[in-house]
Amino acid sequence: MHERVKVLFTTNPGIEDIASAEIAAKLQAHVVEEKTGRGRVLAEVSASKLHKIEFLRSIHRARIVLARARICPEESCLKELHDLVRSLGVEHYIPVYGTFAVRSERVGVHEFTSLDVARVVGDAIVSSVKERLGFKPEVDLEYPSVIVTADVIEDEVFISIELGGDLSWHRRGYRVYDHPAALKPTLAYAMIMLSGAVDGMSVLDPMCGGGTIPVEAAYTFEDSPIVCMDKSPRHIRGAVVNAKAALVDKRIKFLVGDARRLSSYVRSVDVIVSNPPYGIRMGSPRRVRELYRKFVAEAANVVEKSITLITTEHEFVKEVSEEVGLKVSHERTVAHGGLYPHIIVLSL
């Protein structure tokens, strides 16, 4: 029987349940806890499945949890943190003459800072390695061999080993062309899952920008026809570049077209998934609402199952959707780019 380890996954706040479902399904893991709104999922994973973590589409980072303990807010409690780290055997994760770094995040009210936490944990690691392995490991904050994380969340501390180093798995290597309002790939994946699409259904993003949603759809489904459309020829060229970098360009059809006249380009599609411009991006609430009104009306004429959008204009979207006979089947708030847009799923 394979050893099971606790892994702390981070994801985009607001899609913890999507991440949990993917973790459970693809890693045959047992989800222990979801920190809703905090972007954290704790799961027990077989050590033999750890290599599959990099293929998950909904996570940002993954960390092997060495300890989860209570911590009081007083500065004097850092001595207990030092003793805890010394007891964990962290030295076994540091290669001979390898380097390490400590990353720390602190949430809540405490007498100490995240820098204090990192300093104490770092001192404990140096002491342990020197005492038990006979050498003093060097700290390298830029390119460490091993990253130890020490997160203090309210009255709890998590000591973990970062899998994948400083790499955040949501920073996909295919993002060669950087659209100015690009959607995080983890949110794109979550929207595809929330749309209710299954393999074989056609997927359209009529305002695809750099192509993140179509690329994620191509990674998720093997047999779905996928269309990436945008009114900007420059963005479509960029989307093609990104799709080629992702090795899925042959799976996607690219169109230059105006979402306000969607029925001129598309006769029928199962699901629409898109990240339309927000009012703050277009500089004028009037302009964005004109776009939304025309787009939603056109989308209602061609879609067969659902329309999934992410926007800060959620109240207006619901208003115009009702006018054309669409109903809201799902709505949630997520964090993205310092804003809190809603993901809205509209159905017939």
Q: Which residue(s) pair with 306 in the sheet?
A: 271, 347
**57-84 b/e (C-beta count within 10 Å ≥ 16 → b):** bbbbbbbbbbbbeebeeeeebbeebbeb
Residues 64, 119: one domain? yes
pLDDT in tens, the chain (348 residues): 568 999 999 999 999 999 999 999 999 999 999 988 889 999 999 999 999 998 999 999 999 999 999 999 999 999 999 999 999 999 888 888 789 999 999 999 999 999 999 999 999 999 999 998 888 889 999 999 999 999 998 999 999 999 987 767 667 788 898 888 889 999 999 999 999 999 999 999 999 999 999 999 999 999 999 999 999 999 999 999 999 999 999 999 999 999 999 999 999 999 999 999 875 555 567 888 999 999 999 999 999 999 999 999 999 999 999 999 999 999 999 999 888 999 999 998
β-pairing, 269-274 with 156-163? unpaired
Angle at 310 between CA 306 and CA 311, to 5 degrees: 125
The answer to the question of residue 177 being in a domain is: no
Residues 154, 265: one domain? no
By C-alpha distance, which of 256, 216, 252, 222 is closest to 236?
A: 256
Residues 243, 159: one domain? no
Residues 82, 230: one domain? no
Say which residues have a Cβ less than 8 Å from residue 303's Cβ, sequence separation at least 6: 269, 270, 271, 272, 348
Residues 238, 297: one domain? yes
Query: Which structural domain, as residue segments, surrounds residue 19?
Result: 4-163
Residues 130, 234: one domain? no
Say which residues have a Cβ less than 8 Å from residue 70's Cβ, sequence separation at least 6: 155, 156, 157
The answer to the question of residue 170 being in a domain is: no
User: What's phi and psi for 235, nearest 5 deg?
Assistant: -65, -40
The answer to the question of residue 175 being in a domain is: no
Question: Could you say which of 163, 194, 216 is where a domain stops?
Answer: 163
Residues 33, 138: one domain? yes
d(CA 270, CA 132): 61
How many C-beta atoms lie closer than 10 Å to residue 108's C-beta? 11
CATH code for the domain of 262: 3.40.50.150
Residues 198, 79: one domain? no
Q: How high is the pLDDT of residue 282? A: 53
The answer to the question of residue 173 being in a domain is: no
CATH code for the domain of 70: 3.30.2130.30
Q: How high is the pLDDT of residue 132? A: 85
Residues 121, 230: one domain? no
Q: How high is the pLDDT of residue 335? A: 94
Residues 216, 258: one domain? yes
Quote the tokens at residue 20: 């949990």
- The number of folded domains in the chain is 2
Q: How high is the pLDDT of residue 168? A: 72
The answer to the question of residue 179 being in a domain is: no
Residues 116, 67: one domain? yes
Quote the tokens at residue 29: 């893991």
Residues 191, 248: one domain? yes
Residue pair 343/317 in contact by the 8 Å Cβ criterion: no
Output the pTM of the full model. Answer: 0.90
The answer to the question of residue 228 being in a domain is: yes
**324-341 b/e (C-beta count within 10 Å ≥ 16 → b):** eebeeeeebebbbeeeeb
Q: For the purposes of burial, counting CB atoms within 10 Å of the CB of 297, is it exposed (0-12), middle (13-18) or buried (19 or more)?
A: middle
Q: For the purposes of burial, counting CB atoms within 10 Å of the CB of 209, is it exposed (0-12), middle (13-18) or buried (19 or more)?
A: buried
Question: Could you say which of 133, 163, 193 is where a domain stops?
Answer: 163
Instruction: Give SS3 for 315.
Output: helix
The answer to the question of residue 235 being in a domain is: yes
